[in-house]
Amino acid sequence: MKTFLKALLVTSVLFTCILALTVYWSLYRPLPNYTGTVSLPGLTEAVTVKWDDAGVPHISALNEADLYYALGYVHARDRLWQITLHQLTVQGRFAEFLGEDFIETDRFLRTLGLAHTARENRALYSDEEIAILQAYADGINDFAAEHTGKLPIEFSLLDINPIPFSVIDAIAIPRLMAWNLNLVWKSKVVVAYIAETRSPETIRRLLPGVMAEEIIGELEKELPLETGSLIPLLELDNRVRALLNMDATMQGSNAWVVDGSKTSSGQPILAGDPHLGLSAPSIWYEARLNLNGKNVAGVTVPGNPLIFIGRNDRFAWSLTSLMADALDFFVEVPDPLDRGRYVADSTSADITYAPFRIRREIIKVMEGDEILLEVKSTRNGPVVSDVHELELFGDRKISMSWTGNHSGNEFRPGMALNWGDHYQDIIDHFPHHTAPALNLLYADQSGNIAHFVIGKIPVRSGSALVFRKGWDPSESWQGYIPENRMPRIINPPQGWLANANNRIHEDRFPYYISHFWEHPSRIDRIREILGNSSGLDAGVMKELQNDVFSHHARNITGYILPVLQ
């Protein structure tokens, strides 16, 4: 009996030691060290990184290359797995590491073409911009190379190594955020399905008045197409969002700014609270950068060096989603005698055809054969109906126009925001910004406040709510809303500005921006408080951010309670 107890005790101690060692090796050993000096190959001069009590790094450097190298290194130190997940998404490489169950996910992501668009847009970046992005990428890669044996546990669980980070990844990640904010993709499929399967009376009950009447007016232009067949594509999109913890139903934002006439200090105050999906780790990574005495602080997204929302020495800014309609679906008709081309114009006596543009992609599959994917595109955009292995639409195809696939350089205006001195820097540089479309609320030390709309909004004919005819050139996009016609307000007489994803223009505005605005309950409450207040301070702003009162909720409670009772 004693021998048995001794054996049991020895076994228990041994098991406990092995368990403790496993926990240490897997969980604690990869944790970063916050003290000491590190010699890094990518630095030309000394860089200082200090962490405050909240764990926010304060990075000080004497030149841009060193500053952004250090930021890349710190991003990788704290968020390497998150960066890798972003890379797998923009490159469409999940099947390579997770197996055949993710082949269709990769087909969807390759067709969406975030990395392809980034490669094309690289030519729009200056040598100086590429050098900054390369320094940032070098910082990420050097950290990964130096910590091969001490990587986050996700790498061990999946038995994979970090993917070399490139400039293309850094360029692509803001467009991934644009897709994250793109709620129109789902909304248009749902609206088209309702239009196809429901009577005009039901459409009027299900959709807001303006949308319903516009759709009913388009029903005479019947497109023989079963839009319900797009549901498999929506399921693939849902899968990608689940992998990234990007819950589209949770998105939106508030931002407002008041000038000195309404504050106790006589200086403007800006407040912003973006409503992105909850995730661990957060999509945001807070940082403070100091370059030769100039400062910028705010939130970054691991995988890109920009401060997206924050403040510098001269001004502060916050962002909300514009809720812009920056996407359309087109019904395309392939030539029945030559499937390599499609009908480009059937509106004249002689039908004209154009060849599909073909982009070939190789999808690697863990423990499986490589797959050749041919991504077809028309003048309107990539053919998304080919994503699914089945022929979802018979003899027709669906292409997608989305501004996120168009040319642009979001890094240039982003740097102007980070290091600029005046709102004119924003006005000068934001024509380079394509996607996502955003509201930008601004306040500076000179007392100015402003609301800018940034991003490209397409100009199109007819209704934007139904699938468009790919064989009619007049239904293709006709450029973008001119920059000088985009909504813009600087120093309004009421002394405050706000946005809560609400409609931003009056009925007389000559261009279509969206039907997909958020309900005005949030902006109504913000207007009520800011419009009737004075002597505001930061404490009042925090209270408003946490305010839960809704006039809309109060109004509908009278209808709901009797039913519940």
Which residues 6+ apart lie within 8 Å of 313 measured at CB? 294, 295, 296
Q: What is the mean pLDDT for each group of 10 consecutive residues in the chain (565 residues)?
A: 56 53 48 74 95 96 98 98 97 97 95 98 99 99 95 94 98 96 84 80 81 73 58 76 66 91 98 87 96 98 99 98 95 94 93 97 96 97 83 78 98 98 96 98 99 98 87 96 96 98 94 94 96 95 95 90 87
Is the peptide bond between 436 and the residue preceding it cis, with omega within 30 degrees of 0?
Answer: yes
pLDDT score at 11: 58
Task: Answer whether 343's CB lies under 8 Å from 333's CB.
Answer: yes
Give me the pLDDT at residue 223, please: 56
- Taking the C-alpha atoms of residue 255 and residue 263, their distance in angstroms, rounded to an integer, is 16
Q: What local confidence, expressed as pLDDT, does residue 362 receive?
A: 98
pLDDT computed for residue 3 by the predictor: 64
Q: pTM for the full model?
A: 0.91
Q: Which domains does the chain have, with CATH numbers?
A: 248-324+406-466+476-564 (3.60.20.10)
Q: What is the pLDDT of residue 189?
A: 82
pLDDT value, residue 216: 74
Model pLDDT, residue 20: 47
Cα separation, 296 vs 298, in Å, equals: 7
C-alpha span between 465 and 345 (Å, rounded)? 22
Specify the pLDDT at position 25: 46
Give the model's pLDDT for residue 197.
79
CA–CA separation, 112 vs 402, rounded Å? 9
The secondary structure of 144-167 as a DSSP string is HHHTTTS--HHHHHHT--PPPP-H
Q: pLDDT digit string (tens) for 312-356?
A: 999 999 999 999 999 999 999 999 999 999 999 999 889 999 999
Question: Would you say 437 and 403 are in contact if contact means Cβ atoms under 8 Å apart?
Answer: yes
- Distance, in Å, from the CA atom of 200 to the CA atom of 194, rounded to the nearest integer, reads 10
- Determine the straight-line distance between the first and last CA of the chain, rounded to whole angstroms: 67
Residue 17: its pLDDT value, please?
A: 47
Whole-number pLDDT of residue 422: 96
Secondary structure (3-state) at 345: strand
CA distances from 511 to 462, 482, 561 (A): 12, 10, 41
- The torsion of the CA quartet 50, 55, 56, 60, rounded to 10 degrees, works out to 10
What would the pLDDT profile of 173-226 be if each residue is shown by its tens digit?
A: 999 999 999 888 888 888 877 877 788 888 888 887 777 777 777 765 655 555
